[in-house]
Amino acid sequence: MSDLGLVILDSPDDEPALLRRVFDEVLRPSFAPAELPGWESFVGEVGGEGGEVVLVALDGDEPIGAAVTTPCGPAEVTLLCYLAARPGARDRGIGSFLMGHLLDRWRHGGAALVVAEVHDPRCHARTDDERPADRLRFYDRTDATVLGPWVQPALTSDGDRVRGMLLLDLFRSEPAVPAHLLGEFTETYFVFAEGAEPVDAEYAELRRRLAAATPGPGVAIDDLDLVPLLDVDPGR
Ligand SMILES: CC(C)(COP(=O)(O)OP(=O)(O)OC[C@H]1O[C@@H](n2cnc3c(N)ncnc32)[C@H](O)[C@@H]1OP(=O)(O)O)[C@@H](O)C(=O)NCCC(=O)NCCS
């Protein structure tokens, strides 16, 4: 898709009407309630000390795609929280346009490691709205690798964790990242989302598996079958 514009929002006071449209028209229709907090919580994270940044793809004045990133844990780790093209505008290069800008920022921005959470196609069926294998192929084109099975922490006090996910390595500045980074990222994310470091078996197994994944590159997406599922009773 040609002639897309790009706006970078790193403060809730930057174009608040545009930010609201991004939330309502791009993000909310693209993610389940357990994966996207409410508006108040979302807007509270943009900019400020948290450092959340929103990249908006514009077709004229229309927001048609968005990517949201935040530093998480040690300063060198960034989480790609959300990447979406507006429903009805998918498969037209908008996601690739945003990924191109993200990769440029990461190459020049000093992040040692950038990670993303995606549904594991072995655990989530394809539906009209949900195409886990296609999404994984999208990330494969950017040479992402699989760090291991993943569980998204519960983002709200009445929500549940999202299971059957994968943690992807989207970018690393060096072939090997320091071994402690992934553990610190995981702990920071769960404490932030769930209020305290969890003590359950699922979290412990997640930490154990990720500890085994660093510091080398992850598993190629084509070799996903080499990544065993997180086979543990959630018990919560
Ligand atoms: C995944 C997504 C960001 C890709 O953006 P896009 O603009 O549709 O993708 P592009 O046109 O740049 O690239 C095309 C590739 O994207 C993937 N893709 C396209 N539509 C998709 C969809 N509805 N769901 C999942 N992946 C899709 C495919 O790999 C496609 O390649 P293919 O043509 O060989 O099948 C976008 O489809 C989307 O918003 N999906 C729903 C939300 C989501 O899954 N976000 C990622 C969460 S981690």
144 Cβ below 6 A of ligand 1 = no
Cα distances (Å, whole numbers) of residue 178 to 112, 132, 144, 213: 9, 30, 18, 11
Ligand 1 centre distance from Cα of residue 218 (Å) = 22
Q: Which of 142, 93, 143, 149 is nearest to 117 (CA)?
A: 149
122 Cβ below 6 A of ligand 1 = no
223 Cβ below 6 A of ligand 1 = no
What amino acid is encoded at 94 in this protein? I
Q: Which fold has domain 5-226?
A: Aminopeptidase (3.40.630)
Ligand 1 centre distance from Cα of residue 180 (Å) = 32
26 Cβ below 6 A of ligand 1 = no
Quickly count: other Cβ atoms within 10 Å of residue 48's Cβ.
Answer: 11
151 Cβ below 6 A of ligand 1 = no
CB-based contacts of 154, cutoff 8 Å, min separation 6: 34, 160, 161, 193, 194
Query: pLDDT digit of tens for each residue in the chain (236 aa)?
Result: 669 999 999 887 889 999 999 999 999 999 999 999 899 989 988 886 778 999 999 999 999 999 999 999 877 899 999 999 999 999 999 999 999 999 999 999 878 899 999 999 999 999 987 899 999 999 999 999 999 999 999 998 888 999 999 999 999 988 888 888 899 999 999 999 999 999 999 999 999 999 888 778 899 999 999 999 998 877 66
Q: In the chain, where are the structural domains located?
A: 5-226
